[in-house]
Structure 1
Amino acid sequence: MMTRTATLVLLLFAATVGAQSIDYDPRRAVELRPCDEHRYHGRSEQARTCYAKLLESPTPIVQAEAAWAVGDIQRANRIFRDTVQNNERAVQPRVRWARLYLQTHQYSDAVELFGEALKVFPNDVHAKLGLASVYAERFEGQARPLVEDALKQDADLIEAHLLTASMDLEEGQLDDADKALDRAMRVVSKEKLPPLEVYTLRASLEMARGNNPDQWIKRILDYNPRYGAMYQQLAHFEIMRRRYKEATVLLRRAVEVQPDLWGAHAELGSNLLRLGNVNEARTHLQAAYSGDPYSPTTVNSLRLLDRIDEFSISEDPVVIGQDTYQVQLRLHKKESDVLRPYVLDLTSRSIQSFSQRYGFKPREPITVELYPDHDDFAVRVAALPGIGLLGVTFGYVVAMDSPSSRPTSEFHWGSTLWHEMAHVFTLEVTDHYVPRWLSEGISVFEEWRTGPTPGVAVTPEAINALEKKQFLPVADLDSGFIRPSYPGQVQVSYMQSGLVCLFIEQRWGFEQLGVLLRQFDGKRTTAQAIEATFKIAPAAFDKEFDTFVRTRFANVLANFEDWQRQMQAARQAIQKERWADAVEPARRAVALYPEHVGGDSAHLMLAKALDKLNRRSDAIVALEDYRRAGGWDPTALRELARWLDEAGRTQDATNLMVSLNYSDPLNAEVHAQLGERLLTAGRNEDALREFQALLALNTLDQAPAHYGMARALREMGDKMGSRRHLLDALATAPHFKPAQALLLKMIEERS
C-alpha cells in the first residue's frame, strides 16, 4: 500500500469545498452532517468554517473528511492511510479513501481499494457502488451487474438508482431512466436526502426527450444557487449525444455559476477543441490547470496545444456543381505537402457523394485534422492517450490518425476519412439527434458501398457473435457501443449496424435509409423511428433482419469450424511451402466465407499458392476477388499491379496503383512508378501530383522527382516551371543523363 500512498501525495491539488459529491452512506459521521448541509445548499463559507472546526475531532475518519472538505488532501490521505493500517478490517474508511482517489484521478488505485473493502466485507453495498461508478464512468459492462447486485441487498440505495438512471440516459433508454428516477425520488423523500442529483437527472431526461428542463433547473438553483455540477452533468449527456454546441452553452453556464468547478473548465476546454475553437479552449484548460494541475486530461490537452504550431492549416474551396464548400485541412508540417492533395481529393469526393445520397448540403466549413502521433489524436478527441479509435467526428470537425501513425498494413486511412465524413452528414442532417448505432451503421455501410475499398467486409468476430446469438435488438443497439458486455462487442456492434443498413437497402431500398435517418429529430426513439418508417414493430424488424443475415452468411454459419480448419490447413501448407497442398483448403475457405479480407485472408493464401505453382492467371483472379470483397493490403495490391502489367492490362494496373495512395501514401516507390505511368497515359496533372508527392517525401535522390515534374509541366504547357525543375534535377545530380537530354532538347527548341 505504500506505493499507492506515495503516488497520491504527488498528485495533490487545491480542492475546494463542494468538490466532493453527495455522500449517501448512512455510516457517515453525524458530526459532518451540519457541514454537509451547508455545502449541499451552496453556503460555501459556512461549510468551510464548519468543517475547519472538525479538523481536531477525536475521531480520525471525521478529521479525514474535514481535511478533504477544506482542501487539505495530503492530510486527508494520511489519516485515511493510518486508519486503514491500524485496522485491516476497516471498510468504510477504505471506501471513502477510494473516493478520494477518484477525485485525484487515480482510478486504478480506487478500484483496488474498493476491492480491498469487498474482500473484508463482500456484501458492502457502498464499496460495490463505488466500484460500479468507476466502471460506469469508463463505460464498462461490469457496472450494471454490480448495481443490480447492490439493489438486491437493499432496494432503497439512492446511489444505485441514480447510477441506473444515468446509464439508461447514456444508452438512450429513456423510459427505464424515468422509472429509475421515480424510485430514486421516493428514497430521497423517505430518507430526507439532498435531491440535487435526482433533479439534475430529471432535467437531463427532459432534455433527452426534447422538452424544456427549466422547472428542474429552477428547483436545483433554488436549493443550491452555486450548483454548477448540474450544468456540467447536462452537458455530459449532450456530449454523449454528440451535441457539442449545446454542451458548450451548458458548460459556460456551469463555470459562471461555480467558477471554481475545475472539471467543468476542463470539459469546456476539451469541448471547444472539438469545435475547433483553439484559443478559447486554451483559456479554460489553463483555468482548469490552475485549480487541478494534475488532471491528466487537462495536462495532456495543454501539451498538445503547445505543439499546435507544428501543424499547417490550408483553406480550400471545393466546387461541386453550382455550390462551393470550404474545407480546412490541419496537417502536420512534416507530411502536409505529401498528404494534402489526397486528403482534399477524398474529402471533396465524399462531399459530392453524401450530399447527393442524403440530400443535405454542408452549411459550415468542414475541418479535417490528421495526427501522425496516435497519442496526440487520442488527446485531441478524448484528452487521454492510448484509445483504440482511428477517427472521430465532431459535427463539422473530423480528427483522425494520419497514415504515418500506424503500420501501413493495419490502417486504411482513406476508408477512415470516408467513414468520418459520412458522420458529418448523418449528424448534421439530424441536428445531432441520430442515435449512435445508425450514424455508425451508415458510415460502415458507405465504406462498403461507396468508399475507397468497396465490398462488404465482415470480421470473424461478428460472425462468431451472430452464431452465438449475441446481436442486439435494434432498439438496444446503442448499448453495444456505449457499455459493452463482452470483449469485442463494440466492433461487433459496428458490423451489426452496417448490416442493418445493408438489410434496409435490400429490403426497402436505399431511399428508406434516408427516411429513417430523418425520423430522428429529438422526439423519437429508435423503436418509434423504425415503426414510423417501415410500418412494422421493432420485434418484427429484428426477426426479418435475423433471417437476412443468417441467409447471407449461411455457408460460414453452418460451417464455421470447417472454415477454421481449412484456414489452419492452408496456413500450415503455406508456412511449409507446400503450395499444392494449400490451394484446396484456401479455395474452400474463400467459398465458405468470402467476406473475410483480414491480414490472414484465405484470398491472399490462395493467390500466393497459385502464383508459386505458376498459375498466374488464376492468382490474378484470386486477388481481384479479394479486392472486390473489400481487401486492400498494399503489398498484395502492388503485387497484383505488377501481374496485371505483365498480363498486358496496363490501365487496370495504373488504376490499382492510384488506389494505393489511400492506404500507403508515404511510399516513394509507388509515387515514382505511378507518376511515370500517368505521364505515359497522358494524365499530366495526375502525374504532376505524384511527382510533387515524391519530392515532398524528401528522399535522398530528388533528381527523379524534379525530372518527373519537369516533364509533366512541359506537357501542361508550363515551360518556365518545367525548365526550373529540370535545372533543379541537374543541380541535384549533374550527370543525370535523362535530364541532360531533355535540357538539350529544350535549348534546341528555343533556338
Structure 2
Amino acid sequence: MFDVRSFVAVSLSWCGVVVFAAAVQSADLQTTESLFRSGKYEEAESIAAAEVDAGIWNERWARLLLRVQLTQGKYAEALTTYENAITRYPSSLTLRLLGIETLRHNDFIERSEDEIARFFSVLQSTTLRYVSRDNLVAAGRYFTERGEDARKILEMFYDRIRDSDPDYLEAYIATAELAIEKGDYQVAAETVTAAERVDATDPRTAYLAAKAYESSDAKKANESIERALELNPNHIPSLIFQAEAAIDREQYDRAIERLDQVIAIHPKHPEAWALRAVLAHLDGDAEKEKEYREKALSTWSKNSKVDYLIGKKLSEKYRFAEGAAYQRRAIAMNPDYHVARFQLAQDQLRLGDEADGWKLAQSVSDADPYNVVAHNLVTLYDRIKTFETLQSGDIHVRMQPREADLYGDAVLNLLGRAREVLCAKYDVEPDAPILVEIFPDQKDFAIRTFGLPGGAGYLGVCFGRVITANSPASQGERPANWQSVLWHEFCHVVTLEKTKNRMPRWLSEGISVYEERTQNPSWGESMTPRYREMILGTTETQSELTPPSQLSGAFLAPPSPMHLQFAYYESSLVVQFLIEKHGLEKLKQILDSLGAGLSTEDAFIGAIGPMEKLDSEFERYAKKIANDFASEADWSRDELPEKGGLDAWQEFVDKHPQNYWGLRSLASRLLQSKRYEEAIERLEALQELSVFTGEHGGPMEMLAMAYRQTGDVEKEKQILLKIIGQTSDALPALERLIEMELRQENWENVASHAEDVLAIQPLLPLGHESLAKAASAMGAPHREIPPLKALLALDPIDPAGLNYRLAKSLDSAGEKELAKRHVLMALEDAPRFRDALGLLREMVQEDGAGDEPAPSQESRESPDTPLSTAKNGEVAE
C-alpha cells in the first residue's frame, strides 16, 4: 500500500511551504459555474463547450464541461472531452480523476485501470508541480478510493489545504464526504457547518449536511435537503436522497416521482435505476427488478455500488437474506469494496449467522480503521463475549452474567410463553434458533442495533430471528416493563417469519402492540386524552390520524416522541379494526400473501378490498373510539385561562364543571397549594367522567397522592390498583401497594405485586425481598428460593443472613445438598452464626453423622463476636 505520509512529506519538504496559487477565474467562468450549481445544466454545457472549442487555455473550462456532461449522463461526449483535454493538460490530477469516472461509465474497464495506474505515475513524478489545492484534493480522493488510511488523508491533504486556505470550499466538501463514508457523522456535521460559512450557495454543502444529520436529526436533515433543492432543483444527489426517504416511508409513488426527475436529467443514472429495482423487488416483480438492475449497470458493468445500494435498501426493509445476496454480488465485482463487505457483515449478524458476521466485521475494521461503525461493532463484540448465554429449546438469550442470575430464568419463561401463544395463533413454527440479546448499556444496544450510539427511545428491535433489547439497567428510575417489551419483540419474530420479512412497518408494529394489549391490558398503548385530540383534532388543529396506506411513514421523522408513540397506538387500532371487522383469519391471509411475495396493496385487496376503502373505514372506526372515550366530558379548549393562576382556573371550572382540561389544571394547582381535600373533589369529578388513564403524572396518580396526604388509605389503595391495571410500568404505585400489603400481612397480594415489580425492575432488591418474605410467610419454600438467589446476586450487605435463609428454604424444599452448601457459605462469612450452626448440626444429624462433635457453647455464643440473627440476617452489634 502506498505510503501517503511519505509522499506528502517529500512533496512539502521540496516546497518548503505549501503555497496554493489560486487560478484567476474569468467572470464568464464564474457565471457558468453558477449556472451549473443552480441546475441549469444545458446552459452551462453550451457555454463551456463553446469556450473549449474556442481553444481557451484554461483547464477549468474542460473540467467544468466534463462535470456537466457526466451529471447528465452524456458519457460518450464526456469521453471525447476528456481525451482532448488530457492531451493538453497531462499533468492535471483533477482532470485525470474525472477521466477515470468517464472511462468507467463508458464501460472501458481496462482503460480505466490503466488511467488509475497513470494517475499514480503522474503523482509520483516531479511532485513539486502538483502541490495545488485542486490536485491535492484529487490526490486525497484517489487515495480514499484505494482504501488508504482516512486519518492520514485528512491530515496530510485536506487539513493542510484548509489550514493554508480556509476559504477553499472543495477541501471542506472532500473532508465531509470522507467522514460520511466512514460513518463519522460528527466530523461531517462540523465540517459542513464550516463549509457553509465559506460558501452557502453550493447545493453540495446542504446535501452533505442532510447526510450528516440523517441518522441523528431527521428534521435538520430534511431542512438541509430542502435547502439543497432550493439552490438547485435538479440536484441529483438530493433527489436520490428524497427518493430513498420516500422508500423508507413506503411512499412509493413519491419515490418514483423523484426518480423520474433524476432520469429526466440523466437517463442512465445508476442509483436511480438501482432504486427502481428495489421498488420492483418490493412489488414482487422479478422481471422488472432484473431489467432495472441491468439498466443501472448498462454504462458501467462492474459498478459495485449498484448491487450494494439495492441490497442496502432491501436490508432496511428487513429483507436481510435478499440484501445479503446483493452484497455478495457487489463483492464479487470488487472484493475490496469495504462498504458492501460491512453491510454483508451486518446482514449476517441480523440473520443470526454470527460466526461469519463477526469475522467479516472484524476484517473490515482491520482493513479500514477509520470506519467508525465497524470499529464500534467489533469493540462491542469484545463485551458481548463476556455475556452469558441461556437456552431453552430454540430460544437463546444472551445477557450480562449478573443480570442473567437475577432474571434470566424469568426471561426464558416469558419468551417460552410468547412462543407457545403467538406461534400457535399465527400458525408459525420457526425453523432456526431465535437469539435475544439484552444490553445493560443503552449505547451498546444502539451500536448492536443501529451501528452508532443513539437510538434513544427504542426499547427493543427485532430483525427476524434476532432481537436486541435494552435492559432495565439502561433506563433510569422508571424503566419500561421488560416483559411487555419482549412479548412485543417476539411477536415481530412470528409475523416476520410468517411473511418472510415482507410486511409494512405499520402492520408489523400494529400487530405487536395489539398482541401486547391482548396478553395483558396494562401492556401496549391505549387511549388517552392526548390521543383523543390527535384523532379528532380541536377547533384550532386538524386531526393527526394517518391513513393506514401511509402509516409506515409516521414512524420515520415524527415531529415529537408523542407522535411516535401515537403511531404505535394507531397501528394497533388498525389491527384491532381488521380483526373485529374481518376476523383473524383474514389478517393471517394478508400475512400469507405478503410472504408469498405480493405487494401490500395486492395482499389487502385479496383479503379485504382496496386500501382506499380501509383508509376511510378505519377513519370512522378510530373517530368513534375517540368520541366514545369519556363522552360525558367537556373536551373543549376554548376560553381556557391564559395566565393559569389558581383563581382563574377556579372561575373557569365553576363555569365549565365537566371540562377535562379545567378540572385537571385546577386539581394540579390545588395539590401544589396543599389543598388536598379540594383537589380530591376535582379529581373525583374527573373519575366520574371516566377519563382516568394510566399516564404518568395524570389524574389517577394525582388522586392517589391526594388520598395519601389525607390519610385515606383504603381509597388510595383502590386507585393504586386501578393504576397498575392500566399501566405496565407503574413502579411507584407497586412500591406503595407492597408497603400497604406488608403492614396488613396480605401475603398473596404482596407476592403478586412483587412479581409485577420484577417485570419492571429486577435489578433492585425490593421485588425479590418482598416475594421472598411472602413465600416464607405462606410456607412456600419453592417460591422463596429464586428471589433469595437473586438477592445474593445483588451484592447484599449481609450475605451470611441470605445464605442462611436460602439454606432453610432449600432444606424445606428437599434440596439437601444444596442447602448444606449455602449454610456452609453462611458460616464462611460469619463463623459464629448461631442459627446457621444449629441448622448445619440438624443436617449432619439427619445424614446419620450424629456422632460428630456438636459446636461448643462457647463457639456459638462468644460474647466477643457479632452474631447474625436468624430472624432478619442482620448482624447484632
Normalising by the residue count of structure 2, what TM-score does the alignment of the two structures yield? Answer: 0.74
In structure 2, C-alpha distance between the alignment counterparts of 1:62 and 1:398, rounded to whole Å: 48
Deviation at 1:517, TM superposition (A): 3.5
| Pair 1:105–1:312, CA change in 2 (3 A) | closer
Pick one of 403, 412, 430 that aligns with 2:472: 403
SS state at 1:310 partner: coil
Pick one of 194, 197, 206 that aligns with 2:280: 206
Q: Point out which structure has higher relative CO (alpha carbons under 8 A, 6+ apart).
A: 1
| Pair 1:443–1:337, CA change in 2 (3 A) | same
Pick one of 627, 640, 655 that aligns with 1:551: 627
In structure 1, C-alpha distance between the alignment counterparts of 2:690 and 2:322, rounded to whole Å: 45
| Pair 1:101–1:720, CA change in 2 (3 A) | closer
| 1:172 equivalent in alignment to 2:250 | yes
In structure 1, C-alpha distance between the alignment counterparts of 2:426 and 2:201, rounded to whole Å: 53
Query: For each residue in 1:146-167, what CA deviation from the matched residue of structure 2 results, as whole angstroms up to 9, or x when unmatched?
Result: 6566657765443344233222
Query: For each residue in 1:648-677, what CA deviation from the matched residue of structure 2 results, as whole angstroms up to 9, or x when unmatched?
Result: 643233222122211121222432331232
Tell whether the 8 Å contact from 1:704 to 1:729 is kept in structure 2 after alignment: yes
Equivalences for residues 48-87 of structure 1 within 5 A: 48-49=116-117, 51-52=119-120, 53=122, 56=129, 60-61=133-134, 63-71=136-144, 72-78=153-159, 81=162, 85=166
SS state at 2:478 partner: helix
Which residue does the alignment assign to 1:337? 405
* Aligned residue type for 2:446: A
Which residue does the alignment assign to 2:261? 183
Pick one of 378, 381, 386 that aligns with 1:305: 381
| Pair 1:209–1:508, CA change in 2 (3 A) | closer
Tell whether the 8 Å contact from 2:525 to 2:568 is kept in structure 1 after alignment: no
Query: For each residue in 1:188-235, what CA deviation from the matched residue of structure 2 results, as whole angstroms up to 9, or x when unmatched?
Result: 13xxxx632223222222221223233343444553343222222122
Which residue does the alignment assign to 2:395? 327
| Pair 1:224–1:481, CA change in 2 (3 A) | same
Structural RMSD (CA):
3.5
| Pair 1:95–1:542, CA change in 2 (3 A) | farther
Which residue does the alignment assign to 2:826? 729
| Pair 1:242–1:148, CA change in 2 (3 A) | same
Which residue does the alignment assign to 2:218? 140
Which residue does the alignment assign to 2:643? none
SS state at 1:387 partner: coil
| Pair 1:727–1:505, CA change in 2 (3 A) | same
Tell whether the 8 Å contact from 1:139 to 1:482 is kept in structure 2 after alignment: no
Which residue does the alignment assign to 1:315? 391
Pick one of 319, 326, 331 that aligns with 1:243: 319
SS state at 1:520 partner: helix
Pick one of 511, 514, 518 that aligns with 1:442: 511
In structure 1, C-alpha distance between the alignment counterparts of 2:833 and 2:634, rounded to whole Å: 60
Query: For each residue in 1:246-300, what CA deviation from the matched residue of structure 2 results, as whole angstroms up to 9, or x when unmatched?
Result: 3223223322322222222222223333234333223322332234312221111
Which residue does the alignment assign to 1:370? 438
Pick one of 232, 237, 259 that aligns with 1:159: 237
In structure 1, C-alpha distance between the alignment counterparts of 2:366 and 2:516, rounded to whole Å: 44
Deviation at 1:364, TM superposition (A): 1.7
Tell whether the 8 Å contact from 2:503 to 2:600 is kept in structure 1 after alignment: no
In structure 1, C-alpha distance between the alignment counterparts of 2:182 and 2:584, rounded to whole Å: 50
Unaligned runs of 5+ in 1: 1-8, 10-22, 318-325
SS state at 2:486 partner: helix
* Aligned residue type for 1:630: T
In structure 1, C-alpha distance between the alignment counterparts of 2:760 and 2:559, rounded to whole Å: 33
In structure 1, C-alpha distance between the alignment counterparts of 2:829 and 2:158, rounded to whole Å: 66
In structure 2, C-alpha distance between the alignment counterparts of 1:720 and 1:605, rounded to whole Å: 51
Deviation at 1:713, TM superposition (A): 2.7
| 1:265 equivalent in alignment to 2:333 | no
Larger mean CA deviation between 105-114 and 177-186 belongs to: 105-114
SS state at 2:399 partner: strand
In structure 2, C-alpha distance between the alignment counterparts of 1:180 and 1:422, rounded to whole Å: 35
Which residue does the alignment assign to 2:706? 609
In structure 2, C-alpha distance between the alignment counterparts of 1:346 and 1:516, rounded to whole Å: 28
In structure 1, C-alpha distance between the alignment counterparts of 2:606 and 2:634, rounded to whole Å: 32
| 1:429 equivalent in alignment to 2:498 | yes
Equivalences for residues 503-522 of structure 1 within 5 A: 503-521=577-595
Tell whether the 8 Å contact from 1:503 to 1:548 is kept in structure 2 after alignment: no
Which residue does the alignment assign to 1:361? 429
In structure 2, C-alpha distance between the alignment counterparts of 1:708 and 1:626, rounded to whole Å: 34
Unaligned runs of 5+ in 2: 1-7, 9-35, 45-62, 67-94, 145-152, 641-658, 849-877
Normalising by the residue count of structure 1, what TM-score does the alignment of the two structures yield? Answer: 0.85
The percentage of aligned residue pairs carrying the same residue is 26
Equivalences for residues 494-533 of structure 1 within 5 A: 494-521=568-595, 523-533=597-607
Tell whether the 8 Å contact from 1:455 to 1:629 is kept in structure 2 after alignment: no
Tell whether the 8 Å contact from 2:521 to 2:725 is kept in structure 1 after alignment: no
Query: For each residue in 1:572-630, what CA deviation from the matched residue of structure 2 results, as whole angstroms up to 9, or x when unmatched?
Result: 44455443233233334556675642432322221122133232221111011111112
SS state at 2:448 partner: helix
| Pair 1:738–1:613, CA change in 2 (3 A) | farther
In structure 2, C-alpha distance between the alignment counterparts of 1:593 and 1:500, rounded to whole Å: 24
* Aligned residue type for 1:534: I
Q: Which has the larger radius of gyration?
A: 2
In structure 1, C-alpha distance between the alignment counterparts of 2:339 and 2:283, rounded to whole Å: 26
Which residue does the alignment assign to 2:565? 491
Which residue does the alignment assign to 2:851? none
Larger mean CA deviation between 156-165 and 436-445 belongs to: 156-165
In structure 1, C-alpha distance between the alignment counterparts of 2:681 and 2:847, rounded to whole Å: 64
| Pair 1:195–1:700, CA change in 2 (3 A) | same
SS state at 1:334 partner: helix
